[in-house]
């Protein structure tokens, strides 16, 4: 369930004109920017961008970048990009920083095969290299094999599973991932080629056999980037809602909120399942997500995130 509240009868031209008016005069009318862009879905925003450029011969994104700043600007920028373009930007930032390959895993595990293909197309168009080319250039070893395999997969989408295969591959994952005795290549092969439903069947069989989830105590202080990516891959495929809840929880728990992670989840899931993620957050933490966001953020950034959460101030 989405949290975004968007009208069905908006006028792209009227929205473009209202935004232009918000940019004129002394200072920007941020309230109008939030009211319009925070209540439009992706298709409507692309219509506004097109209308704005057609009327004023100016790129709306570039104008916004000159009008607003900081975390607010970053959140609005990521919100008004087309979803595939936004994910391409997030992937590029993750690769160039070399710090957060979780973003690559999220994109690969949560999106449909067609959506992932669209991200790869958007990446090539924007950066003039392929996503897998940049990943391969910035990683090595098993981490490279896993990430390149994830972004280049085009998986079967459906309910068909092979129970016998799930049992066999649960055993392979136990040896490789938990016992660290088997072949990492085999674990990578399974995680980068099987359908989501087949992987979930494998993870469930693992739990039935071993009495615990495969990710339990998988990480420790000595875990390397490959092991962290492996953990994120399994969590994202197994239950992406619980995974995103943990991303938000960790972002807020940090000394100094991790605004990038918080923005990423709210912006990328507001049109999909942010309401479900919020509900899981409440059950896990006994506090409403919007209350925590209101406490941990400030200014127009706070107002914009709360708008996307469906909670006006």
67 is in an annotated binding site: yes
- The distance from CA 243 to its chain's CA centroid, rounded to whole angstroms, is 11
The two structure tokens encoding residue 292: 């925590």
Query: Is 200 part of any known ligand binding site?
Result: no
Torsion of CA 54, 55, 61, 64, to 10 degrees: 180
Cα 234–Cα 157–Cα 109 angle in degrees, nearest 5: 30
Asked if residues 161 and 194 have their Cβ atoms less than 8 Å apart, the reply is no
Q: For residue 27, say whether it is annotated as part of any ligand binding site.
A: yes
252 marked as binding residue? yes
How far is residue 21 CA from its own chain's centroid?
32
Q: Is 256 labeled as ligand-binding?
A: yes
Looking from the CA of 64 toward its CB, the CA atoms found within 13 Å total 25
Three-state SS across 64-104? HHHHCCHHHHHHHHHHHCCHHHHHHHHHHHHHHHCCCCHHH
| CA gap 250, 244 in Å, rounded | 10
Report whether 294 belongs to an annotated binding site: yes
State both tokens at 241. 């809602």
- Measured CA to CA, the distance from residue 75 to residue 19 in angstroms comes to 17
Q: Is 299 annotated as a binding residue?
A: no
Between CA 100 and CA 95 the distance in angstroms is: 8
Q: Which residues are annotated as a binding site for Ca(2+)?
A: 23, 25, 27, 67, 252, 254, 256, 294, 296-297
Binding residues: 23, 25, 27, 67, 252, 254, 256, 294, 296-297
């Amino acid at each position: 369930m989405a949290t975004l509240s968007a009208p069905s009868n908006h006028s792209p031209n009227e929205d473009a004109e209202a935004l232009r008016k918000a940019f004129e005069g002394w200072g920007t009318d941020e309230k109008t920017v939030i009211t319009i862009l925070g209540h439009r879905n992706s298709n409507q925003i692309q219509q506004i961008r097109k209308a704005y450029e057609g009327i004023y011969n100016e790129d709306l994104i570039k104008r916004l970048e000159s009008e607003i700043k900081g975390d607010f600007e970053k959140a609005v920028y990521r919100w008004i990009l087309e979803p595939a373009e936004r994910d391409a930007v997030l992937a590029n930032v993750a690769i160039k920083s070399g710090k957060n390959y979780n973003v690559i895993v999220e994109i690969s595990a949560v999106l449909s095969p067609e959506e992932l293909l669209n991200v790869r197309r958007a990446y090539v168009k924007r950066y003039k290299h392929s996503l897998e080319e940049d990943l391969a250039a910035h990683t090595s070893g098993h981490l490279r094999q896993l990430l390149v395999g994830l972004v280049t997969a085009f998986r079967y989408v459906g309910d068909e599973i092979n129970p016998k295969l799930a049992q066999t591959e649960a055993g392979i994952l136990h040896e490789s991932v938990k016992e660290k005795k088997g072949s990492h290549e085999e674990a990578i092969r399974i995680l980068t080629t099987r359908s989501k439903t087949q992987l979930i069947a494998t993870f469930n069989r693992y739990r039935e056999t071993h009495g615990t989830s495969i990710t339990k105590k998988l990480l420790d202080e000595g875990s390397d980037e490959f092991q962290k990516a492996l953990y994120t891959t399994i969590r994202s495929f197994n239950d992406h809602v619980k995974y995103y809840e943990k991303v938000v929880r960790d972002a807020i728990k940090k000394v100094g909120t991790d605004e990038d992670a918080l923005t990423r989840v709210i912006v990328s899931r507001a049109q999909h399942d942010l309401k479900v993620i919020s509900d899981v957050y409440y059950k896990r933490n006994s506090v409403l997500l919007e209350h925590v966001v209101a406490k941990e953020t400030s200014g127009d950034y706070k107002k914009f995130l709360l708008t996307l959460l469906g909670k006006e101030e």
